[in-house]
């Protein structure tokens, strides 16, 4: 089925620097995979960053692991469906973001050939979903209030604030004071705290947050369970959940009452759907995370987030949140803070060839 493969590294300039507890970015490096076969093409997007600061994966490493270890297995297995991709790649340990990109490219190819939209394949029925937006660490509280005010005016349905030690209680207090108790608000620490910070984190309880996301280190499942007992704010895990197995462990230990589902972090959209199903069966809410995807990955996330268990707004903001120019037709925000679930076959968009050429910094290709 696979006749040709192209792996491209692209760099998209960000409209404004994006700061988290892991550092500041001014551009987004992404790896795109194009697989052609049977007169159709499919696209996948690898969300590994240029530097391994969020997880151990990074874009140059992802390209290498695809070329050296994943593609040879994919080709040898002669996969014909997306369901066959993860089993074909199981022999390689780790590298979930690289694996997810290949699985998505195969899935997109198969669905385009069948004329089936991704959301329909997942079993999603919603045609639009409420969008949340993630707000980076700002140089001052005044700057933060301006930025949040802009997103509230645009209609975003919930705000997520990035926090880190020294930028937590005061910015949250200021946003609550200015925008009121009805604004759906949550915070994300990207693993910046220790269990010893529990008294500080407990001070966030008074602000009625939807959740605190990943306060502790990614392998601190036990400590998250202890912390959860000390807080009234629900604990949500991101970095710690790398598979349906770790999601099950987190739920049964009481380490998370909410899960951020990111397909790249868990090795693909099929595993992400399994986490949705598992969480739903246990009454645990999930929401769809974001990793500054282009219009390809973003559309795929929106299709996933249209499943019924995604009961909280996700990081599914529109293209213009991060990019002046997206690679595809932009994902847009409707007047009431919703984004539309793509209804075209597969992911529902392809990159514009001229923009793709303009933003590509490296290409590798293979033909059978
Ligand atoms: O809307 O795509 C978005 C950004 C959401 O804050 C966001 N993502 O830790 O969840 C995160 C963070 C992130 C971005 C992590 C890029 C890693 C890479």
- Give catalytic status of residue 358 as yes or no: no
What is the average per-residue pLDDT within 135-141? 97
- Tell me the best of 315, 317, 326 to mutate to test the pocket of ligand 1, counting ligand atoms within 8 Å of each CB and taking the most: 315
pLDDT value of residue 56: 98
Under the banding of pLDDT at 50, 70 and 90, the label for residue 66 is very high
Q: What is the 3-state secondary structure (H, E, C) of the chain?
A: CCCEEEEEEEEEEEEEEEEECCEEEEEEEEEEEEEEECCEEEEEEECCECCCCCCCCEHHHHHHHHHHHHHHHHHHCCCCCHHHHHHHHCCCCCCHHHHHHHHHHHHHHHHHHHCCEHHHHHCCCCCEEEEEEEECCCCCHHHHHHHHHHHHHHCCCEEEEECECCECHHHHHHHHHHHCCCCCEEEECCCCCCHHHHHHHHHHHHHCCCCEECCCCCCCHHHHHHHHHHCCCCEEECCCCCCHHHHHHHHHHCCCCEEEECCCCCCCHHHHHHHHHHHHHCCCEEEECCCCCCHHHHHHHHHHHCCCCECCCECCCCHHHCCCCCCCCCCCCCCCCEEECCCCCECCCCCCHHHHHHHEEEEEEEEC
pLDDT value of residue 59: 98
Residue 239 alpha carbon to ligand 1 centre in Å: 11
- Give catalytic status of residue 99 as yes or no: no
Percent of the chain with pLDDT strictly greater than 70:
100
pLDDT value of residue 287: 98
Q: Whose CA is nearest to atom 12 of ligand 1?
A: 291
User: 30-54 pLDDT, tens per residue?
Assistant: 999 999 999 999 999 999 999 999 9
Q: Whose CA is nearest to atom 18 of ligand 1?
A: 291
Average per-residue pLDDT in the chain?
97
**From the CB of 156, is ligand 1 less than 6 Å away?**
no
pTM of the entire predicted model = 0.98
Residue 365 alpha carbon to ligand 1 centre in Å: 29
- Give yes or no for residue 138 having a pLDDT over 90: yes
- Give yes or no for residue 1 having a pLDDT over 90: no
């Amino acid at each position: 089925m696979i006749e040709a493969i192209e792996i491209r590294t692209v760099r998209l300039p960000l409209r404004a620097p994006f700061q988290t507890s892991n550092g500041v970015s001014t551009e987004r490096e992404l790896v795109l995979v194009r697989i052609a076969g049977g007169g159709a093409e499919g696209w996948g997007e690898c969300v590994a960053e240029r530097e391994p600061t969020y997880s151990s994966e990074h874009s140059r490493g992802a390209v290498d692991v695809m070329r050296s270890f994943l593609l040879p297995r994919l080709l040898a297995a002669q996969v014909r469906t997306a369901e066959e991709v993860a089993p074909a790649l199981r022999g390689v340990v780790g590298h979930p973001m690289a694996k997810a990109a290949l699985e998505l490219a195969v899935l997109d190819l198969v669905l385009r050939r069948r004329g089936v939209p991704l959301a329909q394949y997942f079993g999603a029925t919603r045609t639009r979903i409420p969008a949340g937006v993630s707000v980076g660490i700002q140089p001052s509280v005044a700057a933060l209030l301006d930025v949040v005010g802009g997103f509230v005016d645009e209609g975003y349905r919930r705000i997520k604030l990035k926090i880190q030690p020294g930028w937590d209680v005061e910015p949250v207090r200021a946003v609550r004071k200015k925008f009121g108790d009805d604004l759906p608000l949550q915070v994300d620490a990207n693993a910046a705290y220790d269990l010893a910070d529990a008294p500080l984190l407990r001070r966030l309880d008074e602000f009625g947050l939807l959740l605190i996301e990943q306060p502790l280190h990614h392998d601190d499942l036990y400590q998250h369970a202890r912390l959860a007992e000390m807080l009234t704010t629900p604990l949500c895990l991101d970095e710690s959940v790398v598979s349906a197995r770790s999601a099950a462990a987190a739920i049964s230990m009481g380490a998370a009452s909410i899960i951020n589902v990111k397909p790249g972090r868990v090795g693909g959209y099929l595993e992400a759907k399994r986490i949705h199903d598992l969480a739903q069966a246990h009454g645990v809410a999930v929401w769809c995370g974001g990793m500054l995807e282009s219009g390809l990955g973003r559309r795929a996330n929106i299709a996933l987030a249209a499943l019924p268990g995604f009961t909280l707004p996700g990081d599914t903001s529109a293209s213009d949140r991060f990019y002046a120019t997206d690679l595809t037709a932009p994902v847009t925000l409707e007047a009431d803070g919703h984004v539309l679930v793509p209804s075209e076959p597969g992911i529902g968009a392809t990159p514009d060839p001229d923009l793709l050429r303009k933003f590509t910094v490296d290409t590798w290709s293979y033909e059978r």
